[in-house]
Amino acid sequence: MAGVNLNEESARIMATNSDLVGSQMQSCKDEPFLAAIPLHKRILETAKKLGITDVPAEVVTFISHATQSRLRAVLEKVTVITQHRMESYKDDEWYEQATDVRSQLKFFEQLERLEKQRKDEQEREILLKAAKSRSRQEDPEQARLKQKAKEMQQQELAQMRQRDANLTALAAIGPRKKRRLDAPGLLSMGGEGVGLCGGSQGLGTASPRQYPRQKITRVNLRDFIFYMEQEREMSHSLLLYRALLK
C-alpha cells in the first residue's frame, strides 16, 4: 500500500548482510571452566563402560560449562547460609534475650576451676605434711609422698625463677610505645601519600584517605552440611554422611 516491495527489500537486506545472517556473535572467547584434556579422558572412560566410543569436543565444553554453573549456584546458596549464620540480632528492637548460654558456661568453668584449685591446695597440704614428717620407719607410700612433695617444690621454684626472669626482661626493654598512624615515615595503601619520599620532598605523612576493607565471608563445613541437608538430591547422599562423620 505504501509502494514498498517487501520481497525486493528482503533480497537487498539478505545481500547486504549475508555474512551476518545465521551467525552467532560473541564478545569474548569461549573458554572451558575445566581442563579439556583430562576431562575428555574422564568422559571417555565413563562412556566406554556404557558402550560409547566417541565423545565430541562440544560435549566436553558443555559439561565444563554445566560444572561451572552448578558450582556457582552452590557457592551462592552456601554464601547466603553463611551470611544468615553471621547475622546478629542484638541491635534489633524486637530482640529480647531469653538465656545466655555463654555466661552459664563461664560460670560452670569458674566452678570447675575453683574446685580444681581447692583439690590442688588439699593435695599440696598433704604433700607438705608428708615432707615435714620425721618418722624413722617410713612406709613406701610415705616415701612416695615425700618424693612428690620434693618434685612439687622444685617445680614451684622453677616457675618463680621463670617469672622473675620475665619481669627482669620486661623491665630492661621498657614500656612499649605504640606508633601513631599519622606519624611520618608511614607508607599508605593504594599508592597515594607515600611517606618515604625521595628528593626535596623529604618525609611525608600518611594519606588521610582510608580505603574500605573488603568483607570476607568464611564458609565452614557446617554451612555445607546444612546446604546438603536442604537439597533434595543430596539429603541422602554418601557425601553428606561422610561430611557428618568428620
How much is the pLDDT for 79? 92
- Per-residue pLDDT at 195 exceeds 50: no
Statement: residue 38 has pLDDT above 80: yes
Mean pLDDT (the chain, rounded): 78
Calculate what percentage of the chain has a pLDDT beyond 70.
74
- Predicted pLDDT at 23: 61
- DSSP symbol at 184: T
How many beta carbons lie within 10 A of that of residue 186, not counting itself?
18
Best CA proximity match to 243, nearest among 225, 227, 230: 225
Q: How far from 136 is each of 87, 142, 143, 199, CA to CA, in Å? A: 70, 11, 11, 87
pLDDT confidence of residue 189: 42
- Measured CA to CA, the distance from residue 61 to residue 30 in angstroms comes to 9
What does the pLDDT look like over 125-160, one tens digit per residue?
877 777 776 665 566 777 777 777 778 878 888 888
Mean pLDDT value of segment 162-178: 81
Query: Average of pLDDT values for 217-232?
Result: 90
Average pLDDT (174-195) is 53
Average pLDDT over residues 217-224: 88
Report domain extents, the chain: 101-132+140-171
Q: How confident is the model at residue 229 (pLDDT cuts 50, 70, 90)?
A: very high
- pLDDT > 90: what percent of the chain? 21
User: Within the chain, what is the greatest distance between any pair of CA atoms?
Assistant: 135
DSSP conformation class of 191: G
pLDDT greater than 80 at residue 28? no
Read off the pLDDT band of 21 (50, 70, 90). low
- The answer to whether 184 touches 197, Cβ cutoff 8 Å, is no
Find the mean pLDDT for residues 163-171: 86
